[in-house]
Amino acid sequence: MRMLLLSAACGLLIGCQSEESLRLAHEIGAIQELKAISAAEVQYYSQKGHYSGDFHELGISAPDPANGYTYRMALAQGGFEIRAMPVEFGKTGSRSFFSDQTMVIRQSKTSDPANADSPVIE
């Protein structure tokens, strides 16, 4: 499914012929991953009464860094946090992303990881 999302995003960008279009495809894929992981956490909470903070416990595999991003998930006070960071900032992605139990996706356009205070993606 994850590769399908990246392939679809890449296809929309005229076959990922340039480094810029591949970077953008990685970013679109990372945003979709954060949405899916956040949704899995919210569903887990509705069933168990607490968040997981662990890919395996959620019943999903950690996203493959070969798709341009690494992911970190952890429990936070009252919820969870998930971050997506480019494997190589500026090459595999030029933004990092953050989400939590609000399911709002936030971004950082610097090499600093996105967090709860970062701007919302519009």
Please tell me the pTM assigned to this model: 0.85
71-100 pLDDT, tens digit per residue, is 999 999 999 999 999 999 999 999 999 999
Residue 55 above 90 pLDDT? yes
In terms of DSSP H, where are the helices of 13-117?
19-48, 55-58
Domain segments of the chain as ranges: 2-108
Top CATH class, 2-108: alpha beta
98-118 pLDDT, tens digit per residue, is 999 999 999 999 999 999 999
β-strand 79-86 against 106-108: which pairing, if any? unpaired
Q: What percent of the chain has pLDDT over 90?
A: 79
Range 1-25 average pLDDT? 63
How many whole angstroms separate alpha carbon 29 and alpha carbon 7? 9
pLDDT number for residue 65: 93
